[in-house]
Every structure is written in structure tokens, then in C-alpha cells.
């Protein structure tokens, strides 16, 4: 149970937003603009927490005129999505991003392109998130910083009516927010890799959604890896388009830039250390890199390394569902889930219908975070303001330990997740045998967690979320007996038309996987036979 000597803080609102990153901030703004009373709670500090604050995100930005430009962008994305994207969703995301991003001009100074036109597409992450916080506050939203949610609350009919959590900077004071609707925008997870800005992203929103009865989708697409200088979290990749790579003996490696470069680099790293030089980076980009991505040169400046002359060691960090795709299944573009009163946005939601089977990178992911936040905030406000207050006791959905609470080595459980979700031979170059072995390890860790871990601590809830997410990822990867996009099986190296469908997963004590039969391309019978 949540314990504190202080009296519980109790709030009532129309819409509760869980998460203060890009998606959560846009959701809070749009809900407030729709006339709702809004409370936003963030595990960290809204405006600095999350991956956007440490990035230089560019949005999927295509003008509506001429119409052929958007048609071409969508057509290309549908093709590259390998059968899992949907054009209608892409058009709506593009349009909402185009119309919404410029409205931040009152809080954020957009730059200019080479022709002197306002450049709305690319933003500076730290300033962008600071501006979003200012915008949220200007709309009268109540923000509870450093207040992680531990569990959702449900009404007697199963609909979601709020959440409970802890105030980290208020002596661990418990709080409860009763709400007409809840938007989960708590981000994804990189399984505690060293992806910049992802330390608080432990999949909490996935766990809470599953406890409420929602399904996951696309959880097999977690094998996204990003290059970074060794001993660094600097996972900004634009400059590496021009990189040259070497082995420890100084021999140049054949690692041309392209869709297979990450795989080739991972293979090289399995053989030994890999070094990099950015001497081919064009002079105009060198001159502007401190402005475009100021965090990138900062690392080298601190080390006294000249990346345009010196060679430096590189590694690959797992991005999980942050640059991957999977998340809570979204039933409509407005963020509705299978659970009444519960909406999802940003990395908390599956991006398959917008990104397909490949990473959305920076641009599609950013456009999705913005637009899905706007859509979910509006929909939640509409539901909350149109509903009659039902009253009654709210039921906590966080699960008590099955066999009684006792001391559990949470650090060891988290290390166990990392041991299965980071190594290339387990998560990037997959086989059925390796996935089955990972599933066995994760099941053993989950048993320890579910049997004995106290649900009332932040660390235990984060650990449970990491374990649950890893189990769904491994199970869906085992069920998808083909290679498609971010999911690669060495024992099934080709695409199989029978798997041109989205895979749903869920369950806590018993993980399940099935085909999404609502997809027009679903081949449920083929999947069932293969499984």
C-alpha cells in the first residue's frame, strides 16, 4: 500500500493527463481548450523530463498545397510500413501537425530556413518543452511535478475514474485524482538502456493500461538500436549519415549508410570494438551543428575530442518502444482504448498505423506525439464534460502481491530485464530458441515480482512495468515467424504475406498473443497455425 505520514492530497478534475512530455503537454492544452478542467501529473518535471527535452526533433511536415506532396508522402510511408500502416491515419496526423505546431509561436521562437521562411518543422527540444509547459500553465492546467502515478482507479462499471500516486518532493505524500477521463501519455521504454532522456521511461503506462484491461499492439517491434559514442548517452544520429567506421586495427569497415547499417554495425560490434570518424561531415553542417543539435558536440568538447579528425569508439543503445513502434492498442485516431474512460497518446500508444513496421524516427514520431496528444485531449474532454458524475467508491487497479509482500531484489530483476532485452543475439538477431529461452528467464523474474513485490513503491511499479513489457515483446516476437521491419528472425529471414497483420498481446500472469482481426489484411488462421 502507499504509505505516508501526511494526509492524502485529493483532487477532482474533468481530465487527468498522466505524463508531461510532448504528447502529455499537447493533450493537456487541447483538453483545456475544449473547456475541461485539467490536471497533469508527471514522474519528473514537465518541461524537462522525457526524450524530447534532450533532442532536436523534426516533425513530419508536409504542406497541404500542392495536394500531390502529401499524397506522395503518405504513399511512400505506406509502402515503407510493409503492410501495417494506414493512409487515413497518416493524412490526419499530417494535417493536425501542420495546423497545430504554429500555434506555439506565442511561447516558442521558431527559426528560419535558408530562404528566410519560418521553419516550423524542426524545433530545439529543451526550448520546445519549456514552451509547452508555459502553454499548459497559461490554459489553467494544474501540474503536479515529481508525482509518479502508481495505479489507475476504476469505477464499479469498469470505466477509468482517476489515479493514485506519490508526491516525491512532499515527503512521499500520497495523492488521488478523481477524473471523468484519463489520458495515458507516460511514454514508452528503452528497457533501461542509455538512450538519452529515457531514464524515467519504464513502461509504466503499459502496465497500468493492461491492469485496466487494455491490449498491446506491435510489441515485437522493439529491436530499434541507435548509435552513440561509447560511454555516452548521446543518441542523436543525424551526423552519422556521413560517418566512416574502423575496426580496432584501424581497417575501414564496409558500413555504408542505409537501412541495413545498424545490422551491419551490430555484427561488427559482436566481433570487437568499432571506431568512427565524422571527417566527411559537410562544412555547412559542421558550422551549424551547435545550433541544430547542441548536445552532440558538447560530448566531444568535454572529452577534448575532435570528431572531424579523431576516431572515437561507438556503441549501439536499445531504443525499445521509444524509437520502436509498440504500445497500447489504439481503437481510433482519437486515442480511445478498449477500456471506457481511458485514452492513450504518444509513445504510450502503438504507432503501427502511422509508422508501419519500421521506426517512425524523429519526424513521424514527433508528429504522432503532437497530434495524438491533441486528439486524445479533445476526446477525453468531450467524454468527461458530457458524462454525469457517477460518484461511488473508486477501485485501485494495481495488483497486490499474490503470496504476500516480502523483500525483493528489484535491482536484480531490472538487471534481468536488461540481460534479455539488450544483447544483439537475443533481441536484434532473433531465433525461436533464443526467444523461448528469454521468455523462460522473464517468467521466472515475473513470478518473483508478482508473488512478493509491494505495489506501493515507485521502484516496484517501475520494475513490474519493465518486466511486463519485456514479456509482451518476447512473446509477440516468438509468434511473428517472419522478418518484417524492425522485427528480424534469423530462422525466418523472409517476409510472409500471411503475417501482414498487426499482432495484439496482453495478460499479466498469463501472456497471450493473437492477430488483430479488425485489420483488412489479418490472417488469423495463418497465425494460429504457425503458433
The CATH number of the domain holding residue 143 is 3.50.50.60
Do 313 and 249 share a structural domain?
yes
Residue 105 lies in a domain: yes
**Separation of alpha carbons 38 and 180, rounded Å:** 10
**Separation of alpha carbons 275 and 179, rounded Å:** 52
- Among 344, 373, 396, the domain boundary falls at 396
Do 85 and 67 share a structural domain?
yes
Do 271 and 229 share a structural domain?
yes
- Among 252, 283, 318, the domain boundary falls at 318
- 354 alpha carbon, distance to own chain's centre: 14
Residue 337 lies in a domain: yes
Do 51 and 194 share a structural domain?
yes
Do 330 and 314 share a structural domain?
no
Report pLDDT for 519.
66
Residue 123 lies in a domain: yes
Residue 89 lies in a domain: yes
**Separation of alpha carbons 454 and 507, rounded Å:** 20
Task: Cite the beta strand spans of 286-414 per DSSP E.
Answer: 312-318, 327-328, 342-344, 395-396
* Distance in Å from the first CA to the final CA of the chain: 39
Residue 152 phi, psi (nearest 5): -85, 160
Grid coordinates standing for 49? 523530463
Report pLDDT for 3.
45
Report pLDDT for 238.
82
Do 327 and 179 share a structural domain?
yes
Task: Cite the beta strand spans of 218-286 per DSSP E.
Answer: 225-229, 244-247, 274-277
Do 314 and 236 share a structural domain?
yes
CATH number at residue 293: 3.90.700
Helix/strand/coil for 404: coil
* Residue matched to cell numbers 534532450: 54
21 to 51, 101, 183, 527: CA distances (angstroms): 8, 15, 13, 36
Residue 520 lies in a domain: no
Do 254 and 203 share a structural domain?
no
Do 19 and 140 share a structural domain?
yes
Domain count across the chain:
2
- Among 318, 339, 366, the domain boundary falls at 318
**Separation of alpha carbons 209 and 71, rounded Å:** 34
What letter does residue 7 receive in the DSSP assignment? P
Residue 284 lies in a domain: yes
Strand pairing partners for 162?
153, 178
Report pLDDT for 294.
75
Cα pseudo-dihedral 349, 350, 356, 359, rounded to 10: 70
Grid coordinates standing for 520? 483488412
Report pLDDT for 193.
92
**Separation of alpha carbons 377 and 382, rounded Å:** 9
* Neighbouring residues of 422: CB distance < 8 A, sequence distance ≥ 6: 191, 193, 318
* Neighbouring residues of 165: CB distance < 8 A, sequence distance ≥ 6: 2, 41, 147, 148, 149, 150, 151, 174, 175
Do 245 and 202 share a structural domain?
no
Residue 40 phi, psi (nearest 5): -115, 130
DSSP H or E segment with residue 307: none
- Cβ(475)–Cβ(447) below 8 Å: no
Strand pairing partners for 59?
none
Residue 495 phi, psi (nearest 5): -75, 145
Do 248 and 122 share a structural domain?
no
Encode the chain (531 residues) as per-residue pLDDT tens digits. 444 557 899 999 999 999 999 999 999 999 999 999 999 999 999 999 888 988 888 899 999 999 999 999 999 999 999 999 999 999 999 999 999 999 999 999 999 888 889 999 989 889 999 999 999 999 999 999 999 999 999 999 999 999 999 999 888 999 999 999 999 999 999 999 978 888 899 999 999 999 999 999 999 999 999 999 999 888 878 889 999 999 999 999 999 988 889 999 999 999 999 999 999 999 988 888 877 777 788 889 999 999 999 999 999 999 999 999 999 999 999 999 999 999 999 999 999 999 999 998 889 999 999 999 999 999 999 999 877 666 678 999 999 999 999 999 999 999 999 999 999 999 999 999 999 999 999 999 999 999 999 998 999 999 999 999 999 999 999 999 999 999 999 999 999 999 999 999 999 999 999 999 886 444 434 344 333
Instruction: Tell me if the bond preceding 66 is cis, omega within 30° of 0.
Output: yes
Residue 530 lies in a domain: no
Residue 511 lies in a domain: no
Its sign, for the CA torsion 433, 437, 438, 442, is positive
Report pLDDT for 526.
39
Do 287 and 146 share a structural domain?
no
- Cβ(181)–Cβ(16) below 8 Å: yes
Report pLDDT for 527.
40
**Separation of alpha carbons 192 and 181, rounded Å:** 30
Domain containing residue 253: 225-318
Cα atoms found within 13 Å of the Cα of residue 362, Cβ hemisphere only:
20
Amino acid at each position: 500500500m502507499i504509505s505516508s505520514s501526511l494526509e492524502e492530497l485529493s483532487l477532482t478534475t474533468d481530465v487527468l493527463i498522466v505524463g508531461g512530455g510532448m504528447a502529455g503537454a499537447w493533450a493537456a492544452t487541447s483538453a483545456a481548450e475544449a473547456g475541461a478542467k485539467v490536471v497533469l501529473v508527471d514522474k519528473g518535471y514537465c518541461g524537462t523530463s522525457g526524450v524530447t527535452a534532450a533532442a532536436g526533433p523534426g516533425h513530419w511536415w508536409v504542406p497541404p498545397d500542392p495536394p500531390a506532396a502529401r499524397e506522395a508522402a503518405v504513399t511512400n510511408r505506406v509502402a515503407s510500413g510493409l503492410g501495417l500502416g494506414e493512409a487515413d491515419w497518416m493524412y490526419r496526423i499530417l494535417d493536425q501537425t501542420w495546423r497545430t505546431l504554429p500555434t506555439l509561436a506565442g511561447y516558442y521562437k521558431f527559426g528560419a530556413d535558408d530562404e528566410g521562411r519560418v521553419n516550423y518543422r524542426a524545433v530545439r527540444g529543451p526550448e520546445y518543452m519549456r514552451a509547452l509547459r508555459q502553454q499548459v500553465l497559461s490554459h489553467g492546467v494544474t501540474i503536479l511535478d515529481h508525482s509518479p502515478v502508481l495505479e489507475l482507479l476504476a469505477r464499479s462499471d469498469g470505466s477509468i475514474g482517476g489515479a493514485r500516486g506519490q508526491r516525491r518532493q512532499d515527503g512521499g505524500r500520497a495523492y488521488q485524482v478523481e477524473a471523468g477521463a484519463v489520458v495515458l501519455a507516460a511514454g514508452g521504454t528503452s528497457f533501461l538502456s542509455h538512450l538519452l532522456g529515457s531514464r524515467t521511461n519504464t513502461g509504466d503506462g503499459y502496465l497500468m493500461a493492461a491492469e485496466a484491461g487494455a491490449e498491446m499492439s506491435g510489441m515485437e517491434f522493439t529491436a530499434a538500436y541507435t548509435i552513440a559514442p561509447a560511454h555516452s548517452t548521446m543518441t542523436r544520429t543525424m551526423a552519422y549519415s556521413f560517418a566512416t567506421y574502423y575496426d580496432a586495427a584501424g581497417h575501414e569497415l564496409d558500413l555504408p549508410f542505409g537501412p541495413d547499417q545498424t545490422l551491419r554495425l551490430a555484427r561488427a560490434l559482436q566481433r570487437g570494438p568499432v571506431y568512427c570518424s565524422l571527417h566527411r561531415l559537410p562544412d555547412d553542417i559542421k558550422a551549424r551543428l551547435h545550433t541544430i543539435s547542441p548536445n552532440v558536440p558538447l560530448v566531444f568538447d568535454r572529452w577534448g575530442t575532435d570528431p572531424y579528425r579523431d576516431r572515437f569508439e561507438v556503441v549501439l543503445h536499445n531504443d525499445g518502444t521509444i524509437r520502436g513502434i509498440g504500445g497500447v492498442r489504439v481503437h481510433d485516431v482519437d486515442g480511445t482504448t478498449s477500456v471506457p474512460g481511458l485514452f492513450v497518446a504518444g509513445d504510450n500508444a502503438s504507432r503501427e498505423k502511422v509508422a508501419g513496421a519500421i521506426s517512425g524516427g524523429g519526424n513521424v514520431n514527433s508528429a504522432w506525439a503532437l497530434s495524438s496528444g491533441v486528439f486524445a485531449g479533445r476526446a477525453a474532454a468531450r467524454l468527461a464534460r458530457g458524462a454525469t458524475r457517477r460518484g461511488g467508491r473508486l477501485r485501485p487497479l494495481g495488483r497486490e502481491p499474490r503470496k504476500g509482500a516480502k523483500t525483493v531484489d528489484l535491482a536484480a530483476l531490472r538487471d534481468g530485464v536488461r540481460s534479455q532485452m539488450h544483447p544483439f543475439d537475443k533481441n536484434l538477431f532473433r531465433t525461436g530458441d533464443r526467444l523461448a529461452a528469454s521468455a523462460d528467464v522473464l517468467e521466472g523474474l515475473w513470478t518473483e515480482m508478482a508473488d512478493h513485490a509491494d505495489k506501493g513503491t515507485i521502484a516496484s511499479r517501475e520494475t513490474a512495468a519493465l518486466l511486463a513489457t519485456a514479456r509482451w515483446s518476447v512473446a509477440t516476437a516468438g509468434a511473428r515467424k517472419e522478418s518484417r521491419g524492425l522485427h528480424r528472425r534469423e530462422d525466418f529471414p523472409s517476409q510472409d504475406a500471411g503475417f501482414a497483420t498487426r499482432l495484439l498481446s496482453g495478460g499479466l500472469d498469463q501472456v497471450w498473443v493473437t492477430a488483430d482481426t479488425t485489420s483488412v489484411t489479418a490472417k488469423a488462421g495463418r497465425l494460429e497455425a504457425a503458433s
